């Protein structure tokens, strides 16, 4: 359970990248442009669909540089995930439980910075990058009219959370889909729909009022460093 939450959190941050429309010769160069131009994204919001086997989660994702993230879920209803740069909070209303994790002093602070130029560069260091089939656009799904360029990221060494990541980039140079295969061969797919960039999202939208009667579980991923 802890590993699943960690893997999901990592992938939540890998979204909504913008890059210039120009001819790119290699997968590495293509990814480099994506990474460099993500620095122009100050914030974004989008609809997100997360699929893990037969389980499907839906909601709205908001991100603001450098380390604010919020997911307001519609399925499961009223579930919320918030990262404020100091802690990660996951509210599970069906169980009336609030799970909270301190992240500021741990190496997993990268959870809150992965959807950034720095975070994507970190991916390029830890993963080899190639086109899935070639540089030409492919259908997002078999028979789909939506065309994307697909990249395959494979870990250079074990222990990176995902052994393989498939990234689909649409005609507007936005990451449309991410599919990650974990070390234990679980597959998570993240679809990002109707991405809206640089919306001047106020910090107040990332505040989460803790339900006073919710049962609190502290540091559910790892023990904070002293």
The domains of the chain, with CATH numbers, are: 2-215 (2.50.20.10)
Residues sharing a CB contact under 8 Å with residue 189, sequence separation 6 or more, in sequence order? 50, 51, 52, 177, 178, 179, 180
Q: Report percent pLDDT > 70 for the chain.
A: 79
CB contact at 8 A, 87 and 101: yes
User: Rounded mean pLDDT of 101-129?
Assistant: 66
Comparing 50 with 224, the larger pLDDT belongs to 50
User: Rounded mean pLDDT of 157-161?
Assistant: 78
Q: What is the pLDDT of residue 111?
A: 39
Q: What is the pLDDT of residue 106?
A: 41
Q: What is the pLDDT of residue 121?
A: 79
Task: Kindly state the tokens that stand for 76.
Answer: 């499961």
Given a cut of 70, whether residue 91 has pLDDT beyond it is yes
- Alpha carbons within 13 angstroms on the beta-carbon side of residue 110 total 16
User: Rounded mean pLDDT of 96-114?
Assistant: 62
Q: What is the pLDDT of residue 17?
A: 39
Task: Kindly state the tokens that stand for 226.
Answer: 């002293």
Query: Can you tell me which residue has the tokens 């295969």?
Result: 181
Q: Between β-strands 97-102 and 215-218, what pairing exists: parallel, antiparallel or unpaired?
A: parallel
Given a cut of 80, whether residue 58 has pLDDT beyond it is yes
**What pLDDT digit, counting tens, does each position of 186-197 carry?**
998 999 999 999
Q: What is the pLDDT of residue 105?
A: 43
Of 136-150, 159-173, 178-192, the poorest mean pLDDT is in: 159-173
Given a cut of 60, whether residue 45 has pLDDT beyond it is yes
Cα→Cα distances 209→82, 89, 95, 98, 147, Å: 11, 11, 17, 11, 41
User: Rounded mean pLDDT of 118-141?
Assistant: 87
Q: What is the pLDDT of residue 223?
A: 59
User: Rounded mean pLDDT of 135-162?
Assistant: 89
Q: Indicate the average pLDDT of the chain.
A: 80
């Amino acid at each position: 359970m802890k590993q699943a939450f960690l893997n999901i959190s990592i992938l939540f941050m890998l979204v909504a990248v913008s890059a210039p429309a120009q001819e790119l010769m290699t997968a590495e160069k293509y990814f480099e442009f994506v990474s460099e131009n993500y620095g122009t994204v100050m914030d974004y919001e989008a609809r997100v669909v997360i699929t893990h086997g037969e389980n499907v989660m839906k909601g709205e994702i908001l991100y603001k540089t450098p380390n604010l993230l919020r997911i307001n879920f519609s399925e499961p209803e009223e579930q919320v995930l918030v990262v404020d740069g100091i802690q990660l909070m996951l509210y599970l209303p069906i169980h009336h439980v609030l799970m909270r994790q301190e992240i500021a002093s741990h190496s997993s602070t990268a959870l809150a910075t992965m959807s950034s130029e720095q975070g994507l560069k970190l991916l390029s260091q830890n993963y080899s990058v190639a086109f899935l089939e070639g540089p030409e656009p492919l259908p997002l799904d078999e028979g789909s009219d939506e065309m994307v360029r697909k990249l395959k990221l494979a870990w250079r060494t074990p222990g990176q959370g995902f052994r393989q990541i498939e990234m689909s980039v649409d005609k507007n140079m936005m990451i449309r889909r991410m599919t990650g295969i974990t070390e234990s061969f679980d597959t998570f797919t993240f679809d990002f729909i109707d991405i809206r960039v640089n919306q001047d999202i106020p910090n107040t939208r990332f505040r989460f009022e803790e339900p006073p009667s919710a049962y609190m579980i502290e540091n559910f991923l790892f023990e904070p460093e002293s």
